[in-house]
Amino acid sequence: MALVLAAFLPVIAITLLGDYLVKRAALGAGFGSVEFYLGAAFYAVSAVGLLIAMRHMTLAAVGVWYAILTILAMTALGTLVFGERLLPRELVGIALSFSALACMSRFG
């Protein structure tokens, strides 16, 4: 598990930077902003990391790991940087994502 996490950390970091920039664009000028286009560029760069991961893992496993790690990173970004509050349904969703990871790890 530690190896998978280490492999995904750069991809998640790049994705998170894209998320930050797109959120800034959403709060400001939107589609016409530099933040939007930079965010989109960071998303494209993260696809390179996913391509590498897909060479060594099934698409299902890559999808689950990427989704869960991105959810956790975006949740931290939203709460710590943008001051967003988590709703109970979002906390339940995060808990269920760990259930999905457990299923994929144990039965996949």
pLDDT tens digit string along 24-67?
Answer: 999 999 998 999 999 999 999 999 988 888 888 888 888 888 88
Question: Is pLDDT of 94 > 70?
Answer: yes
Question: Is pLDDT of 87 > 90?
Answer: yes
Confidence grade of residue 81 (pLDDT, cut at 50, 70, 90) = very high
Tell me the pTM: 0.79
Q: Supply the pLDDT for residue 56.
A: 82
Per-residue burial over 7-44, b = 16 or more CB atoms within 10 Å of its CB, e = otherwise: ebeebbebbbbbbbbbbbbeeeeeeebebbebbeebbe
